[in-house]
Amino acid sequence: MTTYEVTLKKDPCDGIFACLTRDPRFIEDDDGLATIDPDGDPVYDGDGEVREVDGDVIATFDDDRIEEARQAAAACPTNAIVVEEVDP
């Protein structure tokens, strides 16, 4: 398994939601933009940690779904999503 961080920079996010179709952990937030919610994915059973730092949403996962997160980042037209492997 890989430990990785997904950072969603809220400022450049424009609510196109291309990420939602690539990774179901991305959902629409109350502000009309994307956010990350591991519980929003009915098949996710891991222990994702989500926190907010300076308005950005940062989620840490330890599972085998990094490719889904990378696909969501690649689909984002504003480059608001960054996926990085981290040390556990």
pTM of the model: 0.90
> 31, 33, 35: which is closest to 6 by C-alpha?
35
Residue carrying structure tokens 């996710």: 44
Measured CA to CA, the distance from residue 17 to residue 4 in angstroms comes to 21
Q: Which CATH number fits domain 2-85: 3.30.470.20, 3.30.70.20, 3.30.420.480, 3.40.50.1980?
A: 3.30.70.20
The pLDDT of residue 77 is 95
Q: How confident is the model at residue 88 (pLDDT cuts 50, 70, 90)?
A: low
Measured CA to CA, the distance from residue 54 to residue 43 in angstroms comes to 29
Looking at the chain, the number of H-run helices and the number of E-run strands are 1, 6
